[in-house]
Structure 1
Amino acid sequence: MPVRIVRATLRDLSYIAANLRPEDRAEIDCQLDHWSPALLALAALQGFAYVAELDGNPEAGFGAAEQRSGLWIAWSWGTRRMKRCVPGITEFFHAVLARQVAAQGAWRVEARALAANGLALRWLALLGATQRCLLPGYGRNGEDFFLYDWTREGWNHVSVSKTAGTEAAAAGADRAGQGCAGARGGLAG
C-alpha cells in the first residue's frame, strides 16, 4: 500500500511519539527537559501538521509552525518504518507544505538536527535547506546540532528529483520495514 499523507490528529501523533525511532528519541530527549508522547503530539499540532500513513498505520509526523512573524520551524519524527515514508513526505513537502508556509508570509524556515543523525542531515540538504552552522553544545547534555534553513529566496526551488538518492537509499535499507534512521529536526527535527 502506498504512503498516504493526512492531516495530523492528536491520536496519530501520540502513537508515533510513543513508538519513536532511536535517533528521533535521542534528538527529542536532548532538546526537551520533560516530555511525554501526548505532550510532544500536542505541541506538534501547532501550525501545519501532517502524518504519513503506511499500510493504514501512522508512521511519521511532520510539519511547520510559526515561531514569530515570518519565522517558522520545520520538524519531523517517526517510527522505525518512517524511512519508507520519506519519498511521500518529500513529494508532499514540495507540492503542499512549502507552498502553505510561503503563503503565510514566511521569510525563513529553520530546522535543527542532531549532528549524529546522518540521514536527517542528508535529507535536509536534499530538501533544499542550507546548512548554516554547527550549534556546539545545543543539547541538554552538550550534544551538537546543525542549524539548517530555507529562506524566501530559495526555499521552494528544489526539484523533487534531487531527493531521489536519499529516498532510494532509505527505502532500500528498510526492506523489512524495520529501518532505524531518518529525519527529525526539522523537517527533520
Structure 2
Amino acid sequence: MTLRIIPATLRDLSYIAANLRPEDRAEIDCQLDHWSPALLALTALQGFAYVAELDGNPEAGFGAAEQRSGLWIAWSWGTRRMRRCVPGITRFFHDVLARQVAARGAWRVEARALAENELALRWLGRLGATQRCLLPGHGRNGEDFFLYDWTRTSQPGESHVSLSKATGTEAAAADTDGAGQGRAGARSCLAG
C-alpha cells in the first residue's frame, strides 16, 4: 500500500466527506445543523488542509485553521480506510503541520472529540494533546465532547505552539498491530 500526503483539493475532500466513517459522520452530524459533503470540504480548505491518499484514493482529510489571532482548530475525518493512514498522518503532523501552525504564531491549538469516540480520544493523547475538560451538551442534541489542546510552551523566547511534544512513535500513535492496521482509529474532529 502506498500512502501519500498531498495538499487538499475541493474534489478530494468532497469525496472523503461523502464517504465518511460512521464515527466521523456522527461527530459532524451533532456539530452542524445543515451540512453537505461539498460544504464540509469547502470549510475544511480554510488554513492548512491535507489529504492522505492510499493507493491513489483520497481516504482522509486533516489540517488546522486559525479561528482568531493565535487560536487554531485542528481537525480530521475520513473514510473507513482512514485507519491505515494514521501512521503517515501522525508523522506528517509532527514533521510538517505542527511546524506550519507554529510558524504562524499559534498560542493555542484546540481539538474537540465526541466523548464516546474512544479511538479519537486515545489518538489525541498520543499526538501530545492535553485533555482539558468535558464539554457537557456541546453537541446539538446534547452530546458530550472533550476539549483537547496544545498550548504555547513556557520556555523563554519561544513564541509558538509546540505540537511536537507527543510521546511514542507513529506506530504507537496509531496503535498498530504490526501489520500496518491501526486499531486506534483516526481523529475525527471538527471545530464546534
Q: TM-score, normalized by length of structure 2?
A: 0.89
Residue 167 (structure 1) aligns with: 174
Distance 1:136 1:174, change over 3 A: same
Unpaired runs of at least 5, structure 1? none
Spell out structure 1 runs of 4+ moving beyond 3 A: 159-163, 168-175
Offset at residue 161 of structure 1 (A):
3.2
- Alpha-carbon separation, structure 2, partners of 1:171 and 1:54: 18
Counterpart check, 1:157 vs 2:164: yes
Give SS of 1:33's match.
coil
1:3 and 1:55 in contact (8 A); partners too: yes
2:188 counterpart (156, 180, 184) = 184
Deviations 1:21-68 (A, max 9, x none): 000000000000000000000000000000000010000000000000
Distance 1:180 1:14, change over 3 A: farther
Residue 57 (structure 2) aligns with: 57
CA RMSD of aligned residues (A): 2.2
Q: More helix by proportion, 1 or 2? A: 1
The AA in structure 1 aligned to 2:172 is G
The AA in structure 2 aligned to 1:26 is A
Distance 1:18 1:170, change over 3 A: farther
Match runs of 1:100-115 below 5 Å: 100-115=100-115
Residue 44 (structure 1) aligns with: 44
2:128 and 2:167 in contact (8 A); partners too: no
Match runs of 1:26-105 below 5 Å: 26-105=26-105
Unpaired runs of at least 5, structure 2? 154-160
Distance 1:182 1:172, change over 3 A: farther
